[in-house]
Amino acid sequence: MTDRFSTLAVHAGEERRKPYGAITTPIVQTSTYTFADTAEILDFMERKAAGRSPLRDEYGRYTNPTQTVAERKLAALEGGERALLFASGMAAITTTMAALLSDGDHLVMAFDCYHRTREYARTFLHRWGIETTLVGIDRPGEFAAAIRPNTRLIFAEMPTNPYLRVPDLPAVIEPARRRGILTMVDSTFATPINLRPLDLGADLVVHSASKYLGGHNDLLAGVVVGPAEVLAPVEHARGVLGSISNPHDAYLLLRGLKTLELRVRRQNENGRRVAEFLAGQQAVERVWYPGLPDHPDYGVARRLMSGFGGVVSFEVKGDFETTGRLIDRLRLPYIGPTLGGVESIVEQPAALFSLDRGERRAAGLKDNLVRYALGIENAEDVIADLEQALAGL
């Protein structure tokens, strides 16, 4: 399958003959779609009522032709039946959970995940009568042990942010499937190039498409992929809540997806080389990269993933201030909170999370942690820059 990713990325979901003979899918910039007459409206409504796909679109909050092509391409890349595009990765997560969970339901979630996802579960879902149990990923049995009679969804990231932990996904999925519980995986850090959770048995996979899928740090989008039947209430909720993407971002996403495999393969290589370099530096206390043998999930990662990604997290020998000085000494990467683009970006997660040290500790963020998201630059240049920055500490 992996040798076909580039072909899918370029051609999947695209009409062979596009309007005006264009080679790229056009941006259909419209907020609404008009009808020729009442008979066309009635035909449209009859097809919807019968569960058949309408022959045309109705309103921009529900769908858009540019968006539809991006969704078809994303579904093909993940090996899913249906994909839904959203305004952001968080919109994809929040809308999906809101659609699938109700008052009195229970959610099991890995603690080691994006802090805004945890915040949504602990605040908004809790406010709506949905309880969340946070579990560690070191032992898959913790997920099974947390299941209750009212558990409806299990959610995990793979790899996690920022420590790049890799849960044993099949071991998490098996007890959930036996009990009829849905599983949802945020695979933003992996991309479908390195991991396809649906192939491992997950029901849903979600991405912040702003990251690797777009790949150029110029769009915001999110996507959830899975069976059409499971996603039907999610699509309805998207139309009601208004969390849809826009045609410009869908167009940029289509453009970015065409080079996805090329970029990710390069970022995998850069990640591996930088991780191996950092592992040999005296000024570095620990490196978190699932492609290194001393990573706690190395065996799981080798079994489930075809590549280990372009994000390397590491701990500096020093305190909060020392780590900040290292960040400031780096000349090549930009300083910021994102990842997955062609430009390398570095951050001190603790600095961007909270000024309160206690809050940082409660979130599991060490003051001396650095997250380096590799772009597609030459690895030798990245390593030389790291070397000079570390030498100055």
Characterise 74 by phi-psi region: left (phi > 0), alpha (psi -120 to 50), beta (else): alpha
Which residues make beta-bridge pairs with 206? 186, 224
Same-domain status, 327 and 233: no
Mean pLDDT across the stretch 93-108?
A: 98
Which of 224, 257, 290 represents a domain boundary (last residue)? 257
Listed residue (35, 98, 124) closest to 236, CA to CA: 98
Q: How far apart are CA 147 and CA 108, in angstroms?
A: 7
pLDDT > 80? residue 2: no
Instruction: Summarize pLDDT for 252-275 with one digit per residue, the tens.
Output: 999 999 999 999 999 999 999 999
Same-domain status, 300 and 225: no
Q: How far apart are CA 230 and CA 181, in angstroms?
A: 12
Same-domain status, 97 and 223: yes
Which of 232, 257, 282 represents a domain boundary (last residue)? 257
From 82, 114, 265, 289, the catalytic residue: 114
Residue bearing the bigger pLDDT, 141 or 199? 199
Q: Is residue 110 part of a domain?
A: no
Q: Angle 89-100/228-241 helices, nearest 10 degrees?
A: 110
Q: Is residue 183 part of a domain?
A: yes
Which residues make beta-bridge pairs with 189? none
Q: Coil, strand or helix: which one is 189?
A: coil
Which of 217, 235, 257 represents a domain boundary (last residue)? 257
Same-domain status, 242 and 309: no
CATH number at residue 294: 3.90.1150.10
CATH number at residue 220: 3.40.640.10
Listed residue (182, 236, 239) closest to 205, CA to CA: 182
Mean pLDDT across the stretch 101-127?
A: 95
pLDDT class of 4 with cuts at 50, 70, 90: confident
Mean pLDDT across the stretch 294-320?
A: 97
Mean pLDDT across the stretch 228-255?
A: 96
- Predicted confidence at residue 392, as pLDDT, reads 85
Q: Is residue 132 part of a domain?
A: no
pLDDT > 80? residue 352: no
Q: Give yes or no for a contact between 346 and 330, defined as CB atoms under 8 angstroms apart.
A: yes
Q: Is residue 325 part of a domain?
A: yes
pLDDT > 70? residue 3: no
Same-domain status, 200 and 82: yes
Same-domain status, 237 and 272: no
Same-domain status, 325 and 338: yes
- Predicted confidence at residue 117, as pLDDT, reads 96
Q: How far apart are CA 208 and CA 193, in angstroms?
A: 15
- Predicted confidence at residue 383, as pLDDT, reads 98
- Predicted confidence at residue 199, as pLDDT, reads 97
Mean pLDDT score of the chain: 95
E strands along the chain, which residues? 82-86, 106-110, 131-135, 151-157, 182-186, 204-208, 222-226, 284-288, 311-316, 334-335, 345-347, 369-373
Structural domain span for residue 187: 2-28+64-102+146-157+168-257
Same-domain status, 226 and 206: yes
pLDDT class of 1 with cuts at 50, 70, 90: very low
Query: Who's near 253: CB < 8 A, 6+ residues apart?
Result: 70, 85, 209, 213, 214, 219, 221, 245
- Predicted confidence at residue 103, as pLDDT, reads 97
Q: Is residue 86 part of a domain?
A: yes
Q: How far apart are CA 12 and CA 22, in angstroms?
A: 16
Q: Is residue 343 part of a domain?
A: yes
Q: Is residue 252 part of a domain?
A: yes
Angle in degrees, CA 325, 289, 166, rounded to 5: 130
Residue 237 C-beta-side C-alpha neighbours within 13 Å:
19
- Using a pLDDT cut of 90, give the percent of the chain over it: 88
User: Is 319 designated active site?
Assistant: no
φ, ψ of residue 203 in degrees (nearest 5): -85, -40
pLDDT > 50? residue 121: yes
User: Is 317 designated active site?
Assistant: no
Q: How far apart are CA 332 and CA 330, in angstroms?
A: 6
Same-domain status, 238 and 273: no
User: Is 120 designated active site?
Assistant: no
From 112, 186, 297, 367, the catalytic residue: 186
Q: Coil, strand or helix: which one is 165?
A: coil
Q: Give yes or no for a contact between 181 and 149, defined as CB atoms under 8 angstroms apart.
A: no
Mean pLDDT across the stretch 21-41?
A: 93
Mean pLDDT across the stretch 3-28?
A: 90
pLDDT > 80? residue 202: yes
Same-domain status, 223 and 236: yes
Mean pLDDT across the stretch 116-134?
A: 97
From 33, 47, 57, 61, the catalytic residue: 61
Same-domain status, 241 and 333: no
379 CB-contact burial (10 Å; exposed 0-12 / middle 13-18 / buried 19+)? middle
- Predicted confidence at residue 138, as pLDDT, reads 82
User: Is 251 designated active site?
Assistant: no
Q: Is residue 178 part of a domain?
A: yes
How many domains would you assign to the chain?
2
Same-domain status, 12 and 79: yes
From 152, 211, 263, 272, the catalytic residue: 211
Q: Coil, strand or helix: which one is 6?
A: helix
Q: What is the spatial order of strands in the sheet that 284-288 belongs to?
A: 284-288, 311-316, 369-373, 345-347, 334-335
Q: Angle 320-329/379-391 helices, nearest 10 degrees?
A: 130
Mean pLDDT across the stretch 364-391?
A: 96
Q: Give yes or no for a contact between 223 and 210, defined as CB atoms under 8 angstroms apart.
A: no
First-last CA distance in the chain? 46
